Amino acid sequence: MNAETAPDVSVIIPTYNHANFLREALQSVVTQSFQNWEAIVVNNYSDDDTISVIESFADPRIRLENFHNKGVIAASRNQGIKLSRGRYLAFLDSDDKWYPEKLKQCLPFLESGADLISHGLLRIGEASGNLYCGPQSKATYDSLLDKGNCITPSATVVRKNLVESVGCYSESATIVTSEDYHLWIKLARSGIKMQFTTEILGEYRIHTGNQSGSVIKHLDSVIAVVNEFMPKDSQGRVKSYWRYRRRIGLAYYGAGRVMQKVGQLKKAWSLFLKSVNCWPLRLSPYIAMSLNVLFVIKNSRRHLPMRKSINE
């Protein structure tokens, strides 16, 4: 493809052993009403049918790049960005999918001056429901740092040159699972214009898997991101010190809520206590711990042996 025929949008799809989902993801790109795109599938040397799935489309706009990412998905995304030719980057995880009007509805925002546009997604899996990105008030540099991530890759289209200007994704092993959060913070700090729409333009798949291990891994990565942008040496000032502790407390609380939802009540309790220790003025952990007690009482009653009737 030469410069004259370069696409408007480059779709970056990292994948590993998701052949069963990848077909649906690619089909959702092929059926877009806006057709001036290319899709770069960055395959981490899957040992399933990934390659045959890609080849089955026989579409020259879909390109395969076999690439060892060594467990760092950011490296796959960066490889896709490096190979991309479009003005805009659209990210799509291989187990997610878009609705046909996704690109057609997103591009007018960018053509009208936005640098990044993010839309809503339908969560499918155990935690079903709508997932809304943004709003803009939560996507400022300070809000992203203080309140956490509010943008997800599969819902986002962004100007390629701006992603490149902040160094693309960080490939640090310490922030694996939070590399997108790290990128949004860098982009917000650079002053880009972010916009959001509540239109549901795709589906986001929730996996169960090793919830306990993945929750702690993600918690550690979030804390690593916060430590980079809100360093501990800022604790010399009282306001900075408590800002940092409030943010870390929020991270512990969020992880505790996930543990609670999957029935890991003991681990949830520990995380809630850490949250309170960091920021005792937040009411949410106390409410969550009260719910934990109720769950334990309810479960203990459920497993008590039934007492025999006096007439038996």
Domain assignments of the chain as residue spans, ordered by start:
3-206, 211-301
Q: What is the pLDDT of residue 5?
A: 84
Does the predicted model carry a pTM greater than 0.85?
yes
Tokens of 297: 């009482």
Q: What is the pLDDT of residue 299?
A: 72
- CA angle, residues 184, 181, 231, in degrees to nearest 5: 95
Domain 3-206 has CATH 3.90.550.10: yes
Residues 6-32 as b/e (b if ≥16 CB within 10 A, e otherwise) read ebbbbbbbbbbbbbebbbbbbebbeeb
Q: What is the pLDDT of residue 236?
A: 64
Same CATH topology for 3-206 and 211-301: the answer is no
Q: What is the pLDDT of residue 118?
A: 98
Q: If we measure between CA atoms, which residue out of 184, 42, 34, 6 comes closest to residue 109?
A: 34
Q: What is the pLDDT of residue 296?
A: 76
Query: Which CATH architecture fits 211-301?
Result: Alpha Horseshoe (1.25)
pLDDT digits (tens, 9 = 90+) for 170-193: 999 999 999 999 999 999 999 999
Cα–Cα distances in angstroms (integers) from residue 113 to residues 24, 106, 107, 135, 160, in the given order: 32, 12, 10, 17, 14
Q: What is the pLDDT of residue 239?
A: 87
**Binned average pLDDT, 10 residues per bin, the chain of 312 residues:** 78 97 98 98 97 97 97 97 98 97 98 98 87 97 98 98 98 97 98 98 78 88 96 73 95 96 92 97 95 80 49 36
